[in-house]
Amino acid sequence: MQTQTSTTIIVTENLGKSVKTSNGTLHILSGINLQVASGESVAIVGESGSGKSTLISLLAGLDTPTTGTIRLDGKSLTDMDEDGRAAMRNQMIGFVFQSFQLLQGLTALENVMLPLELRGEVNAKQAAVALLGRVGLSERLTHTPRQLSGGEQQRVALARAFVSKPAVLFADEPTGNLDSKTGAKIIELLFELNLENKATLILVTHDQTLADRCQRIIRLDAGRMI
Amino acid sequence: MNLFGLALRLLWRDSRAGELTILFLALLIAVTSSTAITLFSDRLERTMTDQTAEFLAADMVISSHVPIPESWLKKATGMKLDQAQTAEFSSVLIEHDELLLAGIKAVSEQYPLRGFLKTTVSDYSAETIEHQGPPPGFAWVEKRILSALKLNLGDPVTVGEKKLITSKLITYEPDKQGDIYSLSPRVMMNQQDLPETGIIQPGSHVHYFFQFRGEPEQLAEFKRWVKPHLNLAQRILDIHEDRPELGSALNRAERYLGLSSIVIIIISGVAIAMATRRYTERHLDATAILRCLGSKQNDVLGLFIGQFLILGLLTSAIGCALGWFAQEILFTLLRDLLPQTVAKPGMLAVFFGVMTGMTVLMGFALPPLLQLRKVSPVRVLRRDLAPLPASAWLVYGLAFSIVGVLIWRYTEDFNMTVTLFCTGLALLLILGLLAHLILVLTRRSLSNLSLNWRFGLQGLLRDSRATVSQILAFTITLVAMALSFTVRNDLIENWRQQLPEHAPNHFALNIFPDQLSPVQADFKEQGIGGSQFYPVIRGRLTEINGVPVQKIVTKDSQGENATHRELSLTWTKNLPEDNKIVKGSWWPTEKKAEVSVEQKLAESLKINLGDRLLFIVGGQQLTATVSSIRSLRWDTMKPNFYMIFSPGTLESFPGTFITSFYLPENKKNYLNQLVKKFPAITILEVDLILKQFKMILMQLTQAINYLLYFALMAGFTVLFSAIYSTLDNRIYESALLRTFGANRVLLRIMHLIEFTLLGLVSGILAAIISEALLFMLYTRALSMDYQPTYYLWIALPLIGAFAVGITGRWGVRHVVNTPPLTVLRDS
């Protein structure tokens, strides 16, 4: 078993997730023991269905494990209730999804302001405007997601992820819905922002080149780390 | 592509996945309620018509002062119409030195063709139902005959020259006429004994009633055939023409039933539209894939319409069965109130229920479904590519046309349909704009609000078009429920007021002027108060502006009936209670030679203000100018007059007085004293008519109560399913908010604010529309007095806020507990 260092931000012990199906219990993840140091960038790779997305959803507190524990910044996510996990997400975590997941009824600016507003910060607007400027969307503040291209939407999503200065950023196939050129630009931006923020990055990807840019690669096969 | 097979497969999968549950429920409610209500109201209406036929003791009656020709009866026999006859006349009975003017009624074997008689040999609690009159040699009499003539049951009573044994007390007679001239206590005898009485001589004043029963078509044909043969003194009676007080109660009840049907259909239609919208949204991806794989636009549309048709027919079949059971249950519940024989359910009504269901389904579901036709195959690559929504004209046009046709079908009144329809449409448009305006203003003030409120309101502002249509949908549902409830309350209250507990149950007439004061004093002594005495002078209207009335009237009109007989004319200084001036003005002081004419008669005779009417009164001519037209209520059991003259016009003519008064059952003996003291007075007892009338109103009230419960139930169910159909997007957004750290309390408050506001705004708009529609309904359709319904202004916003708030909050309850990832993945 690995030991926890003072800079470790994520620790899992014997993490597992299984669901009951009509053909018995399906083990999506099992026996995951993992330590991620603060500021480290980690790529999670594996075949489709190997449990990548499930793993980051557990690490980010979006879902609850069937077995094992997760500690985030020294606090046990598994002992928290949903509101506790929500508060942790709000304080410490940023997300970038494959399908952007922007709120359709809100403008780009409002989408980016959202995490800060939930945190109750008063200067949400200035921070959001600044970050949208940083991702090159100063001219698009009042546009709704429908009025933006895929690449632009993902840039809004990046701004939203970093606006709250998260300690950990989870990115689930961030370029999966984009063409390679746009995807490459988004990845550049993601790593730049990550560097500026000194955030820990946990990235799920199929793309080996992208995975190679991370400091560490974790491979999953049939729900187990190999 | 085998569309049908694919449609069936997709339908099966969708239904297993729960995609069709809301649509199925909404449609089921529509079909079940339309079938149940159509069946129920159709059966109830036919039962009521049958029952009201009892008031005539037949389906149709020819009244005549001479026997009608044998050939008419043969014609009726040829048309397979059952027949019965009664002859009514007055005769003085003398027993034990007591004199009594009795109303004799000689009935044939088949009498009554409809309804029944009730008799007793002891008291009113042991009544027996009789389907035939007395056998030859016997007489059935009203109790007052025995007490007035000092007889006991079993004693003989002599009618003319014939001795008849009094065998039973008659307590109920279906066709007892409220006719002022047949008011004396009843002696019923067999027609076979009539010749032996020796009373019927040429020139005797006898009123014959030739009664017929049969199928509606045959009756209508016979009526058409016989009409041209009638002389001026012969009349055809049917319930609507002859008993206006019942006619109006039935008409209102029928209209209420119709209104309830429309209400439930509209509510269900709204739910179907919302459920289909949700269904469409959830099938955009599948459609894009089908399009991508090469389906043509029309194939896709055919596929989904095919699914809806299959779903519609299956659901209709289930709905029909449920509707059938529902109306059977209603009839079982109403068993004690309804007549023993209830009309059979009509298959046509079942068919109509299904047709209504299918029409409403297609009318409300087609426009959202058409959107699927426009789904671009590119959507498989870009999921955010939503098809353009169907044209608003199509969406609302189709739904409104169907509602318009339904209103027209139930009201059968083109003008009223147009009025109601246009009012509703205009109100919806105005309120749609108003709702939009409210949203725009809210958006402006958003930045000053707290996070909870801002997020709650943002839920509404995000897609303002969808919010406006949701508000309108809830508004329509609340309006429909409010109308159903309020009209029912006022209808029942109106009936209750119409026949208060102590409604007059006797008329006293032929009170000579010199007896007026003694009679009034006598009434006072007996504690009979509040009666108004009207002078009655008999007179005939002969000319209007110099033109003989016979040239003005049309055959069989109310005008004709009023002009070929003498009218009861009266004069009074003050406008009688329950009368209302609709044109002109009431005379302020004594002003000679003016007359106020009843509205319907004025319409029939085309009488206008300022017309000069010529009357023949007691052999003299009298001219009066029309100074006002009055509407009045014939159903109040108080003396009513077609013509009221200004004071000083009629005083010189000989006349008598009439009044109506209430006398409780235990004071009935007073009638004998009264008649003894003032032998010239004629007393008309209307207790039986009143009792019958009250019974019918009670039955109608019960039936209407059940319908209301049904409408309210449908309303709430639909409200719930409508809210559910709007939840998908809310659940997704809540999950996203949770991903970014929103806690459950915030989400709960946010949802509560969002849904409660949605309901509150809908409730306020519903109060405005309800008030306007109620005004239109009362003044145009139901002929009832309009009073602002203040409670709606409080109740509707509260109910809206509460029902929508709680349901919405309950609907999204899972989102705060389900892992957000599950929701995001599903989306």
Residue B757 maps to a domain: yes
Number of domains in chain B: 3
Least confident of B319-333, B409-423, B568-582: B409-423
Structure confidence at residue B540 as a pLDDT band (50, 70, 90): confident
- Asked if B494 and B519 sit in the same domain, the reply is no
User: Chain A contact for B817, CB < 8 A?
Assistant: yes
Residue B24 maps to a domain: no
| Residue B692 scores a pLDDT above 80 | no
| Residue B225 scores a pLDDT above 80 | yes
User: Chain A contact for B820, CB < 8 A?
Assistant: yes
Chain B positions touching A118 (Cβ under 8 A) are 451, 737, 740-742, 746
Q: Give the Cα separation of B752 and B764 in Å (integer).
A: 18
Residue B229 maps to a domain: yes
User: Chain B contact for A120, CB < 8 A?
Assistant: yes
Residue-level pLDDT at B391: 60
A124-to-A144, A192, B690 alpha-carbon distances in Å: 18, 22, 77
Residue B312 maps to a domain: no
Residue-level pLDDT at A2: 43
Chain B positions touching A111 (Cβ under 8 A) are none
Give every CB contact of residue A154 below 8 A, 6+ residues apart in sequence.
Answer: A96, A100, A174, A175, A177, A178, A182, A186
Residue-level pLDDT at B722: 64
Structure confidence at residue B179 as a pLDDT band (50, 70, 90): very low
In chain B, the percentage of residues whose pLDDT exceeds 70 is: 78
Residue-level pLDDT at B499: 66
Least confident of A153-162, B160-169, B408-417, B661-670: B408-417
- Asked if B430 and B519 sit in the same domain, the reply is no
- Phi-psi category of residue B803: left, alpha or beta, with phi > 0 → left and psi -120 to 50 → alpha: alpha
Element (H, E) at B362: helix B347-373
Residues B142-150 have a mean pLDDT of 82
Q: Is B188 helix (H, G, I), strand (E, B) or coil?
A: strand
Residue-level pLDDT at A67: 94
Mean pLDDT across chain B, nearest whole number?
78
Least confident of B276-290, B335-349, B773-787: B335-349
Q: Give the Cα separation of A128 and B758 in Å (integer).
A: 30
- Asked if B125 and B212 sit in the same domain, the reply is yes
Q: Which of B458, B736, B743 sits opposite A83 (nearest CB)?
A: B743
Asked if A118 and B462 come within 8 Å (Cβ–Cβ), the reply is no
Question: What chain A residue is nearest to B386 in terms of C-alpha separation?
Answer: A146
Q: Is B56 helix (H, G, I), strand (E, B) or coil?
A: coil
Residues B396-414 have a mean pLDDT of 74
> Which range has the top average pLDDT, B184-193, B530-539, B713-722?
B184-193
- Asked if B825 and B739 sit in the same domain, the reply is yes
Residues B172-179 have a mean pLDDT of 67
Q: Which residue has the higher pLDDT, B734 or A214?
A: A214
Residue-level pLDDT at B634: 67
Q: Which residue has the higher pLDDT, B348 or B187?
A: B187
Residue ranges of A 134-163 with Cβ closer than 8 A to chain B? 145-146, 150, 160
Residues A95-108 have a mean pLDDT of 80
- Asked if B454 and B549 sit in the same domain, the reply is no
Q: Give the Cα separation of B200 and B107 in Å (integer).
A: 14
Residue-level pLDDT at B197: 87
- Asked if B737 and B651 sit in the same domain, the reply is no
ipTM beyond cut 0.90:
no
Q: What is the pLDDT of residues B603-620, one digit of tens each?
A: 878 888 999 999 888 778
- Asked if B422 and B522 sit in the same domain, the reply is no
- Asked if B517 and B665 sit in the same domain, the reply is yes
Residue B406 maps to a domain: no
Residue-level pLDDT at B396: 66
Q: Which residue has the higher pLDDT, B235 or A188?
A: A188
Q: What is the pLDDT of residues A22-71, one digit of tens each?
A: 788 889 999 999 999 999 999 999 988 888 888 988 898 888 899 999 99
Least confident of B29-43, B71-85, B587-601: B29-43
User: Residue B124: which domain range?
Assistant: 56-242
Structure confidence at residue B749 as a pLDDT band (50, 70, 90): confident
> Which range has the top average pLDDT, A157-166, B231-240, B664-673?
A157-166
- In the sheet that holds A41-46, the strands lie side by side as A93-96, A168-172, A200-204, A41-46, A216-221, A224-225
Structure confidence at residue B547 as a pLDDT band (50, 70, 90): confident
Residue B783 maps to a domain: yes
User: Chain A contact for B819, CB < 8 A?
Assistant: yes
Residue-level pLDDT at A4: 45
- Asked if B592 and B557 sit in the same domain, the reply is yes
Asked if A114 and B822 come within 8 Å (Cβ–Cβ), the reply is no
Residue-level pLDDT at B180: 40
Structural domain A8-219, CATH architecture: 3-Layer(aba) Sandwich (3.40)
Structure confidence at residue A126 as a pLDDT band (50, 70, 90): very high
Residue ranges of B 451-480 with Cβ closer than 8 A to chain A? 451, 454, 458, 461-463
Among A53, A54, A62, A88, pick the best mutation site for testing chain B contact (most B Cβ within 10 A): A62
Residue ranges of B 347-406 with Cβ closer than 8 A to chain A? 382-384, 386
| Residue A19 scores a pLDDT above 90 | no
Q: Domain map of chain A by residue range?
A: 8-219
- In the sheet that holds A24-37, the strands lie side by side as A24-37, A8-21, A67-72, A75-76
Residues B810-819 have a mean pLDDT of 72
Mean pLDDT across chain A, nearest whole number?
87
In chain B, the percentage of residues whose pLDDT exceeds 90 is: 7
Handedness of CA B522, B524, B526, B528 (dihedral sign): positive
> Which range has the top average pLDDT, A96-100, A114-118, B162-166?
B162-166
Residue B72 maps to a domain: yes
Residue-level pLDDT at B822: 64
Least confident of B3-12, B160-169, B382-391, B715-724: B382-391
Residue B223 maps to a domain: yes
> Which range has the top average pLDDT, A137-141, B117-121, B448-452?
A137-141
The owner of tokens 């849904």 is B755
Chain B positions touching A104 (Cβ under 8 A) are 384, 462-463
Residue-level pLDDT at A10: 94
Residues A141-161 have a mean pLDDT of 89
In chain A, the percentage of residues whose pLDDT exceeds 90 is: 38
| Residue A118 scores a pLDDT above 80 | no
User: Chain B contact for A130, CB < 8 A?
Assistant: no
- Asked if B693 and B674 sit in the same domain, the reply is no
- Asked if B540 and B643 sit in the same domain, the reply is yes
Structure confidence at residue B89 as a pLDDT band (50, 70, 90): confident
Residues B785-814 have a mean pLDDT of 84
Chain B positions touching A146 (Cβ under 8 A) are 384, 386
Q: What is the pLDDT of residues B634-650, one digit of tens each?
A: 666 778 888 999 888 88
Q: Which of A62, A106, A164 sits opposite B820 (nearest CB)?
A: A62
Structure confidence at residue B138 as a pLDDT band (50, 70, 90): very high
DSSP B103: E
Structure tokens at B282: 């959830």
Residues B221-241 have a mean pLDDT of 75
| Residue B384 scores a pLDDT above 60 | no
Q: What is the pLDDT of residues B279-308, one digit of tens each?
A: 887 788 777 777 766 667 777 788 888 888
Q: Give the Cα separation of B728 and B711 in Å (integer).
A: 28
Chain A positions touching B754 (Cβ under 8 A) are none
Question: What chain B residue is nearest to A93 in terms of C-alpha separation?
Answer: B740
| Residue B354 scores a pLDDT above 80 | no
Q: Which residue has the higher pLDDT, B751 or B44?
A: B751
Domain stops at, among B213, B242, B271: B242
User: Chain B contact for A80, CB < 8 A?
Assistant: no
The secondary structure of B472-529 as a DSSP string is HHHHHHHHHHHHHHHHHHHHHHHHHHHS-TT---EEEEEE-HHHHHHHHHHHHHTT--
Q: What is the pLDDT of residues B25-73, one digit of tens each?
A: 777 877 787 777 777 777 766 776 666 666 677 888 888 877 888 888 8
Residue ranges of B 433-452 with Cβ closer than 8 A to chain A? 451
Structure confidence at residue B798 as a pLDDT band (50, 70, 90): very high
Q: Which of A53, A83, A145 sits opposite B384 (nearest CB)?
A: A145
Q: What is the pLDDT of residues A39-52, one digit of tens each?
A: 999 999 998 888 88
Asked if A95 and B739 come within 8 Å (Cβ–Cβ), the reply is yes
Residue-level pLDDT at B178: 47
Q: Which of B733, B741, B745 sits opposite A118 (nearest CB)?
A: B741
Q: Which residue has the higher pLDDT, B512 or B80?
A: B80
- Asked if B762 and B824 sit in the same domain, the reply is yes
The backbone torsions φ and ψ at residue B674, rounded to the nearest 5 degrees and listed phi first, read: -65, -45
User: Chain A contact for B175, CB < 8 A?
Assistant: no
Strand partners, B539: B567, B617
Distance from CA of B289 to the nearest CA of A (A): 17
Residue-level pLDDT at B267: 72
Q: Give the Cα separation of B442 and B436 in Å (integer).
A: 10
Residue-level pLDDT at B557: 57
